[in-house]
Amino acid sequence: MKVVRTILTTQPHRRVTASINHRARHSTFASTSSAATPKSVAPRGRALNSSLAVDSNSRSSLAEQAVLHGSRSTAGHAPNRNAAKDDEITPLRRYQELLDSGALRGDDHQTRIIQKLQDLHDKLAYYNPPEIPDPSQSHSLISRLFSREQPIPTAPPETAPKGLYLYGDVGTGKTMLMDLFYQTLPPTMTRKRRVHFHAFMIDVHKRVHAAKIAMGFNGGDPILPVARDLANEACVLCFDEFQVTDIADAMILRRLLESLLNYGVVCVMTSNRHPDDLYKNGIQRSSFVPAIELLKSQFDVTDLDSGTDYRRVPRALSHVYYHPITPENDREINKIFKSITSADPSDPPIRNRKLNTWGRTLLVPESSSTVAKFNFQDLCGQPLSAADYIEVTKNFGTVFLLNVPKMGLDNKDLARRFITFIDACYESKTKLFVTSEVPVFQVFSDEPSDSGSKQISDHMRSVMDDLGLSNDIVGSSSMFTGEEEVFAFARACSRLVQMGSKEWAETAGQV
């Protein structure tokens, strides 16, 4: 999952605590502020917003640990309608615990959203999703001859609660709040899925393609069986970073969302944009307008913005990135490495530590048990995969990466591996120190002298805008052309910016 951001606010903590307790008293099923501290249970694997899979032993921030390691009520016991059971985790209670622990600083606007998530949580506790017809039965000869096929639903079940569509700028805490909701879903909601929307649509297109092949020459609507299968897998779907930049997505989204809702699936989405602003200036946008109307009518569309553009709030940067590659910067970075690794005399750095992954051995040039130092060529100059990078970030809370070069079209493989490594560091909450030829945010950017470097595609501009990036920060790159490449590039730049912040430096790197 995305890292939990500490949200900047001018509101004092005491005021927010009072506000949330006031809201708790007016929630039908809200937990009381004096409830006993929940018992901890075994940690779960985290829901991620990239294709990288991190196991449950990976590190997480204090806020993430609080969200992920919370207890649940015993299966089979219905929650109290007047107050949460002492051992039941709810969004409202978990948020209050994060405030009390200091993991978050309160925000009145977030408190308002938490109340909405709490209300949806309470409704889901008593929601019984409809039974989804078995596709194997509906197409069998016996079923066609001797029984009525279950009719395809044409409207959402009356008992299904409306989903939530949370939108706001980068840094307003959308993902953190959605993940908090997902990890505190009632124990009755066993069929659930949390996924980055980009990854979800890739999965959907693969399923649609498979459905078309299965239908053969007779043809038919491939969206319906895909929606049915998705509904069978999850009756609660949480989408992070809902955005539409591709005409192929735009053409199928209305029917896909409509079918999912008709099958009783409850969705929670986060987005940087109001539904009316989705797919602006897109090809054949008129065909997507019905999907926009569906979102506005079937979801509680809620603005999370507090009136502050957090991208323009000055954020203290921790000095973890050094450029250019000079003897002075080399001495400085090695001094930091020596300082960190000398903190525990019983754990001195050793050379060529072996890490085993997928039957391969990766040598770590220099490392203690928690801190590793690599040259760029060690990690990205050889054919390593996401699994290798996950193994590195799982074992070491702090990684030093030295001598990152500026990469052009002839270094595309290096760039892809570097992006995958950054994703692994971000997902595992790794503290990263870097020396690079140019500012690390700009290692993919074109040369200023390149006459074509001034032009970037509309898609890249849209993605960078959604992630709060600008050309002034990361430059522009003609290296990445495909939509998945553009998204991965922009996301990596955004993550590098965040991983250089003071907040990240103070919370990351815990093993």
Match 């051992």 to its residue by tokens.
Answer: 87
Strands 350-357 and 360-367, how do they pair? antiparallel
Between CA 144 and CA 500 the distance in angstroms is 62
The separation between CA 176 and the C-alpha centre of its own chain, rounded to angstroms, equals 9
pLDDT value of residue 459: 54
CA pair distance 441, 130, nearest whole angstrom: 48
Residue 334 has what pLDDT? 92
Q: Cα separation of 64 and 407, whole Å? A: 34
Q: Which whole-number Å values give the CA distances from 82 to 26, 29, 126, 162, 187, in the listed order?
A: 10, 5, 14, 22, 18
Hey, what amino acid is at 361? T
Average pLDDT for the chain = 75
Mean pLDDT, 10 residues at a time, the chain of 511 residues: 37 42 42 37 34 36 40 37 60 89 73 91 94 60 47 89 87 80 92 88 90 84 92 94 84 92 95 87 85 94 67 61 93 92 91 87 94 95 89 93 89 89 88 92 70 51 57 58 68 84 76 55
Task: Report the pLDDT value the prediction gives residue 198, as an integer from 0 to 100.
Answer: 78
List, in sequence order, every residue forming a beta bridge with 399; answer none if it has no partner.
Answer: 372, 432
Tokens in use for 109? 């606007």
State the pLDDT at residue 177: 86
pLDDT of 226: 94
Provide the sign of the torsion angle of the four alpha carbons 434, 440, 444, 449, taken in this order. negative
Instruction: Look up residue 487 and give its amino acid.
Output: F
| pLDDT, position 311 | 45
Q: What digits encode the pLDDT tens for the residues 322-370? A: 999 999 999 999 999 999 998 888 999 999 999 988 778 899 999 999 9
| pLDDT at residue 465 in the model | 59
Is-contact 295 156, C-beta < 8 A? no
CA separation for the pair 286, 487 (Å, rounded) = 25
Ordered structural domains, the chain, with CATH: 13-312 (3.40.50.300), 321-507 (no CATH)
Q: What is the pLDDT of residue 119?
A: 95
Q: What is the DSSP letter of 310?
A: G
* The pLDDT of residue 462: 57
CA distance linking residue 447 with residue 484, whole number of Å: 23
Q: How many CB atoms neighbour CB 383 within 10 A?
A: 9
Question: Is-cis flag, bond preceding 324, omega within 30?
Answer: yes
What pLDDT does 467 receive?
54
Please give the backbone phi and psi of residue 297, each rounded to the nearest 5 degrees, phi first: -90, -30
- Predicted local confidence at residue 352, as pLDDT: 95
DSSP assignment string, 218-270:
G---SHHHHHHHHHHH-SEEEEES-----HHHHHHHHHHHHHHHHTT-EEEEE
Q: Three-class SS string for 431-461? A: EEEEEECCCHHHCCCCCCCCHHHHCCCHHHH
| Per-residue pLDDT, 15 | 39
Q: Which two tokens stand for residue 74?
A: 């015993």
| pLDDT at residue 170, rounded to an integer | 63
DSSP secondary structure string for all residues of 313-360: S--PBPS-EE-S--HHHHHHHHHHHHHHHTT-TTS--EEEEEEEETTE
Taking the whole predicted model, whether its pTM rises above 0.75 is answered as no
Q: pLDDT value at position 9?
A: 37
Which sign does the torsion angle of CA 346, 348, 351, 356 carry?
Answer: positive
Q: pLDDT at position 439, please? A: 87
